[in-house]
Structures are given as structure tokens and as C-alpha cells.
Structure 1
Amino acid sequence: MNPIDELRAARPAHLGDTPTDERTRRSELAYAMSQGPIARRRGKSRLVWGLSLAGAAVAVTAVAVLTAGTGGGTAPRAPSAAPASSSPVKLTAQQVLLVAATRAERQPATSGEFWHTETLGRNLFTAPGGYVMVTEQRDEMWVSKRGQWSRSQYLGAKPATDEDRAKWAAAGSPAEIKVAVPGKGVGRLVPVAANKPYTSHHTGKEVFWLGRNVTLADLAALPDDEAGLKAWLLKYYEGKGTESDAPMAEDAWLFQVTAGLITDMPVSAKVRGAAFRMLAALPSVTAVGEVTDARGRSGTAIAMETESSANGADGDKGLLQDRLIIDEQTGVALGRESVVVKAGGHQAGLAPGTVWNTATVVRAEWTDSRTS
């Protein structure tokens, strides 16, 4: 299928033959002409709210650390560079997601006894002395019909910049840093040194969270059309956030839950394609454009702004841009990141535009062995 036919085929069925406005038509045509042959690559690969049940318990480090994944192949790779002669075209969020849907649906089915994901999380926080520290964590998970095995390791904290390092040194280079918890008036100690890996085994069948706790069988039975998938998810929407009782708009809730499905869960290629198409229809989703993830891979980001209210507190609210980074060539998610739009709550002291935390997919694949 040529790129123009691919974009035409990617249009949701409910749009039918509705005429396209000329600006959109020019943008789609320019995009299609700028693409070379479609790369035949495979890859796949989730966030604090996307962790499995046991994984969420493991991820209790000193501060909130985002962890992520993708759904079903080998380690994700960055898209091929566009030809040097092509003119850059900024796609709308809908165009990015519809092309990703078409390419995700082409991914070959894979199998194995265990669904294995590995993710790297990074999180920034401001210390009492006014300097910024970055924490890192690695999480691995193996899921089968027999349960879930997890291995997590807190990799330590370090000053974010040379200036922050100088301030940390001036404060006596503390080995532990007390950080206030917004809305609670208490503090947590963040260790600078790394911890040993922590392993756990969860024998329950409900090992993922998708608006509610779900099993592998639940994921296998998900609707593979966008309308059916949206209706299935919204049965569990209660007007509040995924991690607190703070109010959350329907679009924002769907974005968070669906991004977790795309990045972390072993669903079929058709379900993943339906998830992309469903996101494309959300009016609040915007296009960020080309970005580089925490591992240096290039991808295209789509985003939605969400209010950040630490622990459901009424005061000290911030605003975040929640991004999903996609490899357009494969329809694979490379990870998630949250960018500060307005500082507040856990992001107090961080400048607008700062990448507060990242959840980078290292691998997500079916395998017949596990090492934990």
C-alpha cells in the first residue's frame, strides 16, 4: 500500500467520505510524499498508574518515579530519518495517531510463555536547598498465566546540573535528602546511593490496571474497534483521577489509561491500532512534534495537559503536559514523559518546560524464559 492509500485507510470508519478541508489535505499529501518505503521493523513496550499490582508495590521509592512499557515484540527502535531533501511537515495529533494505528496493526503476532517488559524511569525533585536532583529506577516484569515476577532497582539520585551539584556540595553533600510532600506537610528521605535489586512474585491473575484490575484473559478479550474499546474503558470511569480522588476530565482519563495499554500491555495488533484510533478522536489531544526520548531515540510525541494536584490537595496545583512518544515507522510507543507547564505540587521549584519525569521503554516482548 502506498503512503497516500495508507493515510486514506487510516481514517476512522465514522468519518466516511466526509470532505477534507484543503489545509489538512495539503498536510497529509506533504507527509505522504516525504516518507520513503515503510520500514519493516518490530518493537513494543508503562507509568505509575500503568504498573501491575505487584509492580506498583515495588515502585515505592522515596519519590514518585514513573515507569513505563510497550506492547508486544522486541526492543523499540527510533524511526529512520526522513530524506534530506524532504521538507519538514508538522502533523496534527490525529494524523500522527492514525498513521501509528495503521502501522501498529501490521506488526506480526508473537508468542511465548512470559510477557516481559523492561523500563527505565527518571524523576526530578527540588531539594530544600533549592537545587534539583534526578532519581533513576529500572523495572522488569514477567507475566504469565501463573502470575507475575518483578525485579526493580532504585539506581540512586544525583544533581541534575553542574550548578545543582555545586549547591548540593555546599549543603554538605547529604547522603539522604528530605523532601516535603505537598498537601501533607511531612517529608520523605530520598537516598543518594543506589539500592540492591528487589524481587517479588505475585500469584494473582489480575496483574494489569486498565481502569480496573485486569487479567491476561481480560486483555485478550478487549474489543478491537475504537468505539467498542472506548465503551469498555468508560464503564470504569468515575470522574476522578487514576491515582487520587481529584476530579479528572473524561478525555484526560482515557488518555492516561489508553497510553498505558499501548505502552505496556500484551494486546493484539488490532487492539493496539484501535487504541491509537480512539486517541485520535479525543479533541484535547495535541501534537508536540519530533522529540528525543531519555535514551536518545527520536520519536513523535502527542500530548494532553493535565492538572497536577499532589495527593489530591486543593492548593499548590501545577499543570503538566503528559506526552506519549511514538515511533511512527512501526506504531510502537517509545515511552512517556511529563513536562512542566505550570509549577506546583510535586513540581514546585521546576521551571516551565522542564521534563519532570520519563518512563522509557527498553524492551517489551514475549519470551519463554525469565531471569527473576
Structure 2
Amino acid sequence: MDELIRELYGRPEPAPHAQTRVWRRITVRRRRRRLSWLAMIPATAAALALFLLIPREQPVDTGREILLTAATSAASATSRGTYWHVKKVYDGVRETDLWVTRQGGAWTAEQGRVTRVTGRSPFSMAGRDLSFDQIQALPSDPAELRERVAAMLPAGSRGLLADALGGLLWTKPSPPGVRAAAYRALADLPEVRYLGTATDDRGRDGEAFSFALPTGVRRTLIIDPATSQVLSSEDGTRSELVLTAGWTDQGPR
């Protein structure tokens, strides 16, 4: 049909200036698209610059940082006082007190009854007696402390290293530098696991860490990194809630 029309009437001529109008419309549309893209460039560049300037959180070992924070707090703690005093609650029931002088005199109290400690030292490490002077002489360098404590452990008890270092944080009158070194040494032990924030039986908030014992169970400590104090200890068979651990001038009555 189209061929017949063209034979009868010839090829139709475009309207005057039709081609010019078509190209003008095409050019205008292209120019509009180009301008819209150009307008987006400053906004995109500004957004990219803002993204690059925003500080982004870097991945860190949270548990290690918490232990190092506790070490800093421990290093600045005071060691003034006449008595080293530790007050604990065992298994949520039995409350005990221990007072020790710098000369080695010691007293314990349970259910209100105060008794002088005689014979063995009130401190021990892996079942071995540890004197007050031995504790005071421990090094304040983390690597040296780790080596010294490892050498003090019985043969074949390498698995007790984390527990022995942990004991220097609260069960013994360790000098501030030694407690700080113990925290830093624990931060470098791969067997020490960070469990996250936790609350002890008294409702105190802290950070929980655990490590394996040779018996196969794990000991969990809840610490307050701001004060460097150990709040509680639990190993699946026994729990200890620490109410007080530090130096004081108030002795047993």
C-alpha cells in the first residue's frame, strides 16, 4: 500500500524547517541531560569528602583494651595503710575477712569471730606458701612478672599461669606496679577470653574474663576496669564475691 501511494503521489516532502526543529529538540534534550549530570558532580564530591572526613571505628581487641585500662587504674592506686584487708562472700553464704600487716601478722574473721593466723602464710600460689616480702619483691614489668610467676609454679602446671597472675589482682597485697603488670600480662595471654559486660550477685557492673584451669573447668573473673578491682570469681564449683580488697588503717576488732 505504501509503494502504491508513493507511485501515485510521489514521496512526501517534509515541512519547511522540520529537520531543523527536530535537531534543535534533540540538542536541547542532550544539553539538559549534560547539565543535570554536571549539577550532580559538586554534590557527589561534597558527599565523598564528608565520608572521608567522618572518623570510622577501627577494629580493636576489646578485651585486651579493657585489661590495659584496668592496668592503668591499678598503677595509680594507693598502697598506704596498716592492714591489707580482704572481705569476701563464699557461695553467697559464708562471709570472711582477712587482715595482714606488713610484718606478716594475720587475722581472719568468720561469723564475727576473729582468729589470729599462725603457722602457714595466709598467702599461697598454686598450693605453695607465699610470704608478704615475696609478693612485694615481684617485678613490675609484665614479661618479667610472667617469667617469675611461671618459675614459681610446680612442674607441669603451666596451665595455672593465668590463674596465678589473676590471684595477684585481689587475693594478695600486690604493690600497684605488680597489679598493673599482672593485668598487662593477662592481656597478652591467648587463653584469656573476654566474655563481655556482666553483673555480679550484688548488682555491680563489670567486665567478665575467663581462662581454663588444669581441672578442665574455667574460672570467670568480673572486674571493674575503672577501679581495677576484681568484683567476683567463679569456677563452676565455688563462687567468691569480693566486697573489699585493699589497704586500710582499720584492723580486726
Q: TM-score, normalization: structure 1?
A: 0.49
CA apart distance, 1:365? 2.5
Amino acid at match of 2:79: T
- Aligned residue number for residue 93 of structure 2: 136
Question: SS at 1:27's partner residue?
Answer: coil
Task: Say if 1:146 and 1:203 are closer, same or farther in 2 by CA, change over 3 A.
Answer: farther
1:281 pairs with 2:188: yes
Q: CA RMSD in A?
A: 2.2
- Aligned residue number for residue 115 of structure 2: 200
- Aligned residue number for residue 5 of structure 2: none
Percent of residue pairs identical = 30
1:325 pairs with 2:232: no
Structure 2 residue runs of 5 or longer lacking an equivalent are 1-56
The superposition leaves residues 270-305 of structure 1 with CA deviations (integer Å, 9 ceiling, x where unpaired) of: 111100111111111111001111111010011113
CA apart distance, 1:338? 2.1
2:104/2:132 contact within 8 Å kept: no
1:26 pairs with 2:61: no
1:367 pairs with 2:248: yes
1:263/1:334 contact within 8 Å kept: no
1:147 pairs with 2:105: yes
1:205/1:216 contact within 8 Å kept: no
Matching of residues 47-86 of structure 1 within 5 Å: none
Distance in 1, Cα, partners of 2:212 & 2:148: 24
CA apart distance, 1:239? 4.0
Q: Following TM superposition, where does structure 1 have runs of at least 4 consecutive aligned residues deviating by more than 6 angstroms?
A: none
2:163/2:213 contact within 8 Å kept: no
The superposition leaves residues 3-57 of structure 1 with CA deviations (integer Å, 9 ceiling, x where unpaired) of: xxxxxxxxxxxxxxxxxxxxxx7134xxxxxxxxxxxxxxxxxxxxxxxxxxxxx
CA apart distance, 1:204? 5.0
Distance in 1, Cα, partners of 2:153 & 2:133: 21
Distance in 2, Cα, partners of 1:101 & 1:368: 25
1:210 pairs with 2:125: yes
1:146/1:205 contact within 8 Å kept: no
CA apart distance, 1:112? 1.9
1:92/1:286 contact within 8 Å kept: no
Distance in 1, Cα, partners of 2:176 & 2:164: 17
Task: Say if 1:303 and 1:146 are closer, same or farther in 2 by CA, change over 3 A.
Answer: closer
Q: Quick check: which has more Rg, 1 or 2?
A: 2
2:163/2:211 contact within 8 Å kept: no
1:294 pairs with 2:201: yes
Amino acid at match of 2:143: A
1:104 to 74, 88, 106: 74
2:90 to 121, 127, 133: 121
2:88/2:241 contact within 8 Å kept: yes
Structure 1 residue runs of 5 or longer lacking an equivalent are 1-24, 29-90, 123-134, 154-196, 241-247, 309-318, 340-355
Please state which structure has a larger fraction of its residues in helix.
2
Aligned length: 195
1:234 to 140, 145, 150: 150
2:160/2:214 contact within 8 Å kept: no
CA apart distance, 1:137? 0.8
- Aligned residue number for residue 178 of structure 2: 271
Amino acid at match of 1:120: V
Q: TM-score, normalization: structure 2?
A: 0.70
1:119/1:363 contact within 8 Å kept: yes
Amino acid at match of 2:97: E
- Aligned residue number for residue 160 of structure 2: 253
Task: Say if 1:146 and 1:219 are closer, same or farther in 2 by CA, change over 3 A.
Answer: closer
Question: SS at 1:26's partner residue?
Answer: coil
2:79/2:176 contact within 8 Å kept: no
